[in-house]
């Protein structure tokens, strides 16, 4: 049974629920600010902490990997101890880890801080989404609430680059991690008054062995992929990937035996749930495009952090508009058609970004707008499809599963596409380096484009110009390859959704238009 049982399906929400949604927007802003700020701050972190390419990828990725790794754990933990309670605990821990990250003196300590941020952040989104599902029992209202929720997420993405750009203009890179601390103070003050508490007393005990197995599945695979992309195929990375796959197999077998599994595999037997979750993962992996657009703006186009942040705003605005309009259009257009149409626009946007080498900055800006706006229906409607398909007592687990797929997809997209682009960068750079460079200079130029530009500044003018041109050209080659892969991924997801979800009807303003929740 549920402690704090939600109203029957179809019941319309009142004033308290809408105020509660506004309170849930606060931690959402916090998590999204942290994602966007780190993208903007990466060049400054690389220069200040002298981080190599592997450390930079871990600084970026460890947050997402642990966020994804602990998401299912925290989703089921919230069902057990209370979703509001876990939200407040996680928010407090997130603020503390943000302060630790801000004052990290080494790349290693920053990686640890980002890991702690990932664990703390894993408590926030599944708790918030489960609370939304419990608070909003009318399908049309739930769609609107989810669109507002994701609009707030993108609002944080917008706030992060702008505020972060201002802070990077005037303060040190660590200041960007402090942005979310005041937000958490507001959350802790308002949540007890406006958010109801829900817990499932029949959820059973948390299986710590499953928690360990879920982490032992994710991290070794990611490590192996990173090392292969950096240095080529070797024994240790292959062993690492094999260990991760073995742990994953053991994890799945264990979930099938448990009465109260950490991951309820029965959720994935529902075809529309499986399609929505899989589609979310692949679309999120395409989010790696953001990594390249941010680096392009600062390192190729030569924009300041503030200028780069401002130029991301049109793309963020496109996402916000897409999030708000998707549930409106979904009342008249079947979800599969709406999602597929949006992804077709996103594919066109990725293709435009890939032309940045010829068309310049405006190709990145215009393409990013189309990409963000086109992905919006998938994000909003896929979450709604999943949350509508499960019973209320499974809301936390379903929300965690959805967010895990998205976070894992995004992190793996960054790791795989980022590493592949880095490998292509090094290969292309070798073919065009100026003759006679010292081995130490060549090694530094191989690390990242930021490193190449930094070492070029120490060379004679003519040699520096040649090295900068070669490094930027090599970066553009890797970026074009990665963005082309993004376009192929999005096209595949669009076709899959169009065929697998074609039976779903437009959203209803009354009771659920879709089949009854899976039990």
Helix then strand then coil, % of the chain, to nearest 5: 80, 0, 20
Give the C-alpha separation, 9 to 494, whole Å: 30
The contacts of residue 233 (CB under 8 Å, 6+ apart) are none
pLDDT for 447 equals 77
Selected residue with higher pLDDT from 388 and 62: 62
> Given pLDDT bands bounded at 50, 70 and 90, which one contains residue 202?
low
pLDDT per residue as tens digits for the range 30-43:
666 766 667 667 77
Residue showing tokens 């920053």: 110
Burial 462-487 (b: 16+ CB within 10 A, else e): ebbebbbebbbbbbbbbbbbbbebbb
Query: Rounded to whole angstroms, what are the CA distances from 8 to 18, 83, 331, 516?
Result: 17, 19, 21, 13
- As beta bridge partners, residue 200 has 2
Decide: helix, strand or coil at residue 517.
coil
Residue 367 scores a pLDDT above 90? yes
> Which residue in 471, 148, 442, 411 sits closest to 291, CA to CA?
411
Residue 218: its pLDDT value, please?
74
Q: What pLDDT sits at residue 35? A: 63
| Among candidate residues 321, 312, 497, 486, the one with its CA nearest the CA of residue 409 | 486
Q: For the purposes of burial, counting CB atoms within 10 Å of the CB of 221, is it exposed (0-12), middle (13-18) or buried (19 or more)?
A: buried
pTM of the entire predicted model: 0.73
Q: Beta 2-3 vs 199-200: how paired, if at all?
A: antiparallel
Which residues are CB-contacts of 276 (< 8 A; sequence separation ≥ 6)?
382, 383, 385, 386, 402, 501
**What's the angle, vertex CA 159, arms to CA 57 and CA 134, rounded to 5?**
90
Q: pLDDT tens, 264-321? A: 777 777 788 888 888 888 888 887 788 788 888 988 888 887 788 788 888 888 988 8
Tokens matching residue 460? 């004679």
**What pLDDT sits at residue 510?**
42
Tokens 């958490």 belong to which residue?
A: 184
Radius of gyration of the chain (CA): 23
CB of 159 closer than 8 Å to CB of 66: no
How many Cα atoms sit within 13 Å of 470 on the Cβ side?
24
DSSP letter at 508 equals P
Residues 464, 354, 349, 340: is their CA dihedral positive or negative?
A: negative
More confident residue, 513 or 117: 117
| Cα distance between residue 22 and residue 420, in whole Å | 40
Cα separation, 163 vs 312, in Å, equals: 12
CA dihedral 128, 134, 139, 142 (to 10 degrees): -30
> Mean per-residue pLDDT for 90-104?
87
**Coil vs helix vs strand at 2:** strand
Angle between helix axes 15-49 and 449-456 (nearest 10 degrees) is 40
Strand partners, 2: 200
pLDDT digits (tens, 9 = 90+) for 462-519: 888 888 888 888 899 889 999 999 999 999 999 999 998 888 887 664 433 344 344 3
Q: Which of 250-254, 310-314, 373-377 has the lowest mean pLDDT?
A: 310-314
Take residue 461 and report the two structure tokens written for it. Answer: 């003018």
CB count, 10 Å around CB of 348? 16
Helix 395-430 crosses helix 124-135 at what angle (to 10 degrees)?
A: 140
pLDDT score at 6 = 55
Contact of 273 with 389, CB cutoff 8 Å: yes
Q: Is the pLDDT of residue 10 over 60?
A: no
Element spanning 56, H or E: helix 53-81
pLDDT value for 341: 94
């Amino acid at each position: 049974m549920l402690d704090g049982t939600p109203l029957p399906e179809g019941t319309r929400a009142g004033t308290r629920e809408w105020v509660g949604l506004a309170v849930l927007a606060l931690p959402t802003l916090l998590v999204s600010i942290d994602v966007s700020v780190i993208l903007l701050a990466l060049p400054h972190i690389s220069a200040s902490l002298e981080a190599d390419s592997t450390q930079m990828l871990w600084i970026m990725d460890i947050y997402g990997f642990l966020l994804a790794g602990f998401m299912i754990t925290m989703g089921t933990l919230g069902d057990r101890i209370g979703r509001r309670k876990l939200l407040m605990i996680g928010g407090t821990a997130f603020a503390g880890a943000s302060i630790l990250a801000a004052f990290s003196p080494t790349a290693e300590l920053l990686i640890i801080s980002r890991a702690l941020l990932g664990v703390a952040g894993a408590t926030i989104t599944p708790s918030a989404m489960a609370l939304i599902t419990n608070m909003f029992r009318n399908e049309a209202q739930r769609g609107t609430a989810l669109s507002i929720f994701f609009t707030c997420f993108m609002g944080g993405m917008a706030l992060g680059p702008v505020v972060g750009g201002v802070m990077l203009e005037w303060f040190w890179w660590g200041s960007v991690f402090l942005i979310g601390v005041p937000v958490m103070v507001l959350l802790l003050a308002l949540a007890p008054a406006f958010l109801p508490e829900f817990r499932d007393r029949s959820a059973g005990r948390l299986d710590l062995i499953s928690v360990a197995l879920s982490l032992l599945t994710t991290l070794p695979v990611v490590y192996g992929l990173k090392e292969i992309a950096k240095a080529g195929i070797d024994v240790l990375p292959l062993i690492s990937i094999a260990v991760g796959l073995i742990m994953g197999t053991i994890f799945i077998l264990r979930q099938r035996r448990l009465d109260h599994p950490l991951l309820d595999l029965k959720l994935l037997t529902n075809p529309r749930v499986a399609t929505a979750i899989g589609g979310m993962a692949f679309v999120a992996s395409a989010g790696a495009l953001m990594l390249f657009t941010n680096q392009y703006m600062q390192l190729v186009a030569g924009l300041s952090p503030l200028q780069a942040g401002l130029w991301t705003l049109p793309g963020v605005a496109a996402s916000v508009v897409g999030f708000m309009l998707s549930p409106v259009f979904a009342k008249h257009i079947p979800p599969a058609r709406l999602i597929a149409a949006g992804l077709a626009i996103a594919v066109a946007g990725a293709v435009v970004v890939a032309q940045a080498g010829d068309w310049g900055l405006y190709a990145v800006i215009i393409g990013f707008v189309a990409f963000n706006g086109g992905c919006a229906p998938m994000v909003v409607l896929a979450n709604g499809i999943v949350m509508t398909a499960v019973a209320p007592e499974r809301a936390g687990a379903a929300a965690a599963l959805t967010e895990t797929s998205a976070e894992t997809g995004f992190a793996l997209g960054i790791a795989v596409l980022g590493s592949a682009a880095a490998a292509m960068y090094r290969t292309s750079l070798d073919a065009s380096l100026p003759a006679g460079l010292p081995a130490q200079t060549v090694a530094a130029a191989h690390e990242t484009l930021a490193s190449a530009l930094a070492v070029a500044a120490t060379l004679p003018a003519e040699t520096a110009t040649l090295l900068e041109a070669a490094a930027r050209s090599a970066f553009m080659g890797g970026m074009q390859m990665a963005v082309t892969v993004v376009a192929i991924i999005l096209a595949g997801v669009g076709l899959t959704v169009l065929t697998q979800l074609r039976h779903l009807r437009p959203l209803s303003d009354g009771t659920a238009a879709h089949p009854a929740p899976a039990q």
